[in-house]
Structure 1
Amino acid sequence: MNAAAAAAATPAARKDRLLEVSGVSVSFDGFKAINNLSFSIGKAELRAVIGPNGAGKTTFMDIVTGKTRPDEGRVIWGDRSISLLRMNEAKIAQAGVGRKFQRPTVFEDQSVFDNLLMALRNARSAWSVLFYRPTDEDRARVVTLAEEIGLDSQLARKSGELSHGQKQWLEIGMLLAQEPQLLLVDEPAAGMTPAEREHTTDILKEAAKTRAVVVVEHDMEFVRRLECKVTVLHEGSVLAEGSLDHVTKNEQVIEVYLGR
């Protein structure tokens, strides 16, 4: 190990890092979906991940959440430098990794209030769930969450009656209710109106003040509004990193991602 690599591996060097992916590769039927990928993010940081279809964005999130096991490499988590590769999906979620897929999944027959209430980070044993009764603190937390995502006027409304954008906000709120340290969000702007996209930007920027948020997105105007560091993936590796203006001026990015 060289001096730089040794320094990066010390606790002092990574004390502000929440997640560190190092030298990760994975192949499917001979196709290398992730190729020696290295990525890290701080404890309260907003990051956008962009790249063409097949760049490895979804597989990257699958690896972090335990859905896919890499062939090699390390995925290190938190102050105690725990290996996420030794944990299953449920344990990784309990450790503080939350993931939102592109299509919102909410309980449409239940109210917004009940969706948020069910998502609160409380004891989940069969006994505790059977006899659970919401406390005043639980109800206050739900109201606060609804205010954070802009649905405080919709608490009594059935979730199935919400617009597509509102359902996306509700699912983000449900994830925030679980108090994750890292929130992975897949294409949140898809199918939204301009006003909904703007509000979604505000929600994610506010969330990133107290946790790490990784946003996978194709909408470059949405990414620009996030005003964050951007990681460009190509063929399973990091092609460039920096501000959106910086990476879009990169000759390799122009050639590969912008197609000119």
Structure 2
Amino acid sequence: MSLLEVAGVSVSFDGFKAINNLSFEIGEAELRAIIGPNGAGKTTFMDIVTGKTRPDEGQVLWGETSTSLLRLSESQIARAGVGRKFQRPTVFEDQSVEDNLLLALKKNRSPFGVLAFKKSTDDADAITKLADEIGLGDQLTRKAGELSHGQKQWLEIGMLLAQDPQLLLVDEPAAGMTLAEREHTTDILKKAAGTRAVVVVEHDMEFVRRLDCKVTVLHEGSVLAEGSLDHVTQNQDVIDVYLGR
């Protein structure tokens, strides 16, 4: 069953068609990689799903009830269960790793709920478990600003997982990472996809190969090819417009 279905979506900016009759769907516990040349529409696709950009036509349907995400605001879409990680890590650098994860936990965010909040044993356990999952179990008291680039990426992924999203959109997580950091990042994302949908936009083909998942190739705002990495990289159209560059 589909968790997210994008059907016949198009959007233009000043006459340029960034997304052109795009259709895409992903299941409830699935890992998917999206690749394609610059300008293929990868970022615009994520902008549409998260409510940052409104398409000119088409549908974006969510969950068992096929709720239209196009009727919801960005904050409502986030609360519905869509989490997004941008390419540059965004963490609270003056706060500890533990505090960053605590701030991100899914909680009552009303003014009274925030004022009355006290960390419970369950909260502490959840933070410890999350920190272990992202490889920062021994860094809880360290300031986020002191972490390496890769560790900051893991912390931000952990902060998104703390919100318990049903769909996680991740933009170029391997950028700027060492080989060991990239390998650990694939492990984090593969494990996350066991309980939720994870969409990874990436240029690093070795990183995509390690993800070992279905790949969607975008070109000029449309799906050019879809299947395993071996399948799409043998597609002549994909070679011509992307891999041959």
Question: TM-score range with shorter-chain normalisation?
Answer: over 0.9
1:168-194 deviations in whole A, cap 9, x for unaligned? 000000000000000000000000000
SS of structure 1 residue aligned to 2:195: coil
Paired residue for 1:145?
A: 130
Paired residue for 2:89?
A: 104
Q: Does 1:245 align with 2:198?
A: no
Amino acid at match of 2:240: E
1:21-56 deviations in whole A, cap 9, x for unaligned? 000000000000000000000000000000000000
Q: 1:85 aligns with which of 45, 55, 70?
A: 70
1:137-172 deviations in whole A, cap 9, x for unaligned? 001100000011010000000000000000000000
Q: 2:45 aligns with which of 48, 60, 83?
A: 60
What are the ranges of 5 or more consecutive residues in structure 1 without an aligned counterpart?
Answer: 1-15
The correspondence of residues 43-192 of structure 1 with structure 2, limited to 5 A, is 43-192=28-177
SS of structure 1 residue aligned to 2:153: helix
What are the ranges of 5 or more consecutive residues in structure 2 without an aligned counterpart?
Answer: none
Q: 2:193 aligns with which of 205, 208, 211?
A: 208
Paired residue for 1:37?
A: 22
Matches of 1:145 and 1:258, distance apart in 2: 37
Paired residue for 1:27?
A: 12
SS of structure 1 residue aligned to 2:217: strand
CA drift at 1:121: 0.1
Matches of 2:167 and 2:190, distance apart in 1: 13
The ranges of structure 1 where at least 4 consecutive aligned residues each deviate by more than 4 angstroms after the TM superposition are none
Matches of 1:69 and 1:23, distance apart in 2: 13
CA drift at 1:91: 0.1
TM-score normalized with structure 2 length: 0.99
Q: 2:182 aligns with which of 193, 197, 204?
A: 197
Paired residue for 1:231?
A: 216
Amino acid at match of 2:96: S
Matches of 1:93 and 1:189, distance apart in 2: 24
RMSD, aligned α-carbons: 0.6
Matches of 2:217 and 2:11, distance apart in 1: 18
Matches of 2:133 and 2:67, distance apart in 1: 31
